[in-house]
Amino acid sequence: MLPDLDELYKEVILDHYRNPRNSKRLEDPQVKAHGFNPFCGDEVDLQLRLNGDGAVHEVGFQGRGCSISQASASMLTEELKGKTLEQAEAVRQLFRRMMMGEKLTSDEMESLSSLTVLSGVRQFPVRIKCALLAFSALEDGIKEYRGGKK
Ligand code: ZN
């Protein structure tokens, strides 16, 4: 069930929820992430393949759960392509700050591009975890990747 978000938010979230982007499982990903939100049972799995320059070349996403968790994961996959893991981390941090209610500069908002639509979720504090799920999973996945690559 969707909380009473503005129409644009609803439209974008439902579109991603119904037609998740990069909805496939990648073989031999360098970065793997799994996230689970016990509050509403949301689950996401992400896989990233990097190119020789360390930038994200391909993203895979599978998941189930509420519309906000699945839509934010789908939107995140679109933002990741072409970014290095450092850039992905920067986006994750900015997104988290936005969701926690911090005021971002217009440059910062711009670098979040379409993800800013999800700021509407802030009106529903219990759903913030849903919106952050894929981002937290990504953080863990990147840590694991760096830890294993010595
Ligand atoms: Zn949820």
Averages of pLDDT over runs of 10 residues in the chain (150 residues) are: 70 95 96 96 98 96 97 97 96 97 94 92 93 97 87
What's the gap in Å between 98 CA and the centre of ligand 1? 18
Per residue in 35-77, pLDDT tens?
A: 999 999 999 999 999 999 999 999 999 999 999 999 999 999 9
Q: What are 45's strand-pairing partners?
A: 34, 62
What's the gap in Å between 26 CA and the centre of ligand 1? 24
Residue 12, both tokens: 């974008």
CATH topology of domain 3-148: Sufe protein. Chain: A (3.90.1010)
Which residues in 55-76 are b (16+ Cβ under 10 Å) and which e? bbbbbbbbbebbbbbbbbbbbb
What's the gap in Å between 51 CA and the centre of ligand 1? 32
